[in-house]
Amino acid sequence: MKSNKVFKVFIAYDTSNLRLVKKIINQTKTTKIKIIPKFGLQFFYSKQGRKFLENFKNNFFLDLKINDIKQTALSAIDSLKDLKKCRYITVHANGGLEMLKAVKKKAAETNKNLKVLGVTVLTSLNNKSLKEIGHTRSVEQLVLKQAGLIKKVGLHGIVLSAKEAKIVKKKYNNLFTVTPGIRLPGDRTDDQARVVTPYDALKINKVNAIVMGRSLIRGNIKNNIKNLIDHLNK
């Protein structure tokens, strides 16, 4: 069934190849869904990446997953003040209450349009992975605990798997939810442990935005975007 809602999709530019980045930008233009580029450590740390983002004319999401002591995290945010079109930045909830509060305040001072998203349990992890690194809570329990911290601090939103989004939405309904680990039906899961389809994330679990990378930027990019739109309109 078709929907009049324009869904928000962050496309993960998991590359340091500037030519490929420009190709993806050119081939993902559409009015059917709202697409915002998401750049991570690979591109940001590359020789040409940082310079490209300084002059980028479109809004973008910078996924650095900042996770350090408070002062270092603040310095990291301050170093982004020349990236005028940066609209979203990620910080790990593991950093703790004081670090998150300080980052939120610094982000507002650095760029009034910059929204801070709190990262919970990575979608590459599962209950076994958490146990291996010393956690006694399940993924679901830990994400819910971190969501409470993110809500308490007043961050703009939360990054979590769509598998936990429903329970978080139920308790913290007004949190902006962003879910990675998204694959079109039939696609390889690669290194992701907790995966759902775009339809299930956006229409069943009612998340606010999804992150997609390899499902869209591998192979025929224009055709992948069409498949995504068709999938969401089924």
Using only the alpha carbons of the chain, give its radius of gyration.
17
Query: Which residues belong to the active site?
Result: 65
Indicate if the alpha-carbon torsion angle 159, 156, 201, 13 is positive or negative: negative
- For residues 179 and 147, is the Cβ–Cβ distance under 8 A? no
Q: How many other C-beta atoms are found inside a 10 Å radius of the C-beta of residue 68?
A: 14
Identity of the amino acid at 67: N
Q: Which residues contact 111 (CB under 8 A, 6 or more apart)?
A: 80, 81, 83, 84, 86
On the 0-12 / 13-18 / 19+ scale of CB atoms within 10 A, 1 is exposed
On the 0-12 / 13-18 / 19+ scale of CB atoms within 10 A, 159 is buried
Q: Which residue has the tokens 């992948």?
A: 224
DSSP 3-state of 211? strand
- For residues 101 and 78, is the Cβ–Cβ distance under 8 A? no
